């Protein structure tokens, strides 16, 4: 079973700053099967990125994803007030789905 480790656990930044979130897999993951989600309190997660780098429909271009193998990154180029939330990576492999434990992006 692939374990996804996200870092940092919490990122304290100001609006307008750049956010870089990491997702590291315990073994190589197909980039085609790596996705990122945003979750706000009391809400279901929202798909941001699939296939490691493809933005979902309606997602602003300040969100971008990259990576391959065991290291993947979600970048928010300039934080907007509505971007402060928790972000999860997710992968599929060997018929199993797994999530990382999340990174909270909070207002500094």
Q: Which residues bind other proteins (CB under 8 A)?
A: 1, 32-33, 35, 37, 39, 44-47, 50-52, 54, 56, 88, 90-92, 95-102
Report the residue number, 12 or 54, with the smaller CB distance to other proteins. 54
- Sign, CA dihedral 20-8-91-72, equals positive
Q: State the DSSP string of 17-80.
A: S-EEEEEEEEEEE-GGGEEEEEE-TTS--EEEEETTTEEPTT--TTEEEEEEEEEEEEEESS--
CB of 91 to other proteins, least distance (A): 8
14 versus 96: smaller Cβ distance to other proteins = 96
- Cβ proximity to other proteins: between 44 and 61 the closer is 44
Cβ–Cβ under 8 Å, residues 90 and 97? yes
CB of 1 to other proteins, least distance (A): 6
In whole angstroms, how close is the CB of 13 to other proteins at the nearest point? 21
């Amino acid at each position: 079973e692939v374990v996804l480790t996200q870092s940092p656990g919490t990122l304290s930044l100001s609006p307008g700053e750049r956010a870089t979130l990491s997702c590291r897999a315990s073994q190589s993951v197909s980039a085609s099967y790596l996705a990122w989600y945003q979750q706000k309190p009391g809400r279901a997660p929202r798909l941001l990125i699939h296939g490691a780098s493809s933005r979902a429909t309606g997602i602003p271009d300040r969100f971008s994803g990259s990576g391959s193998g065991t290291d993947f990154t979600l970048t928010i180029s300039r934080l907007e007030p509505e971007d402060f939330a928790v972000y999860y990576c997710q992968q599929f492999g060997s018929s199993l789905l797994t999530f990382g434990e999340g990174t909270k992006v909070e207002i500094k």
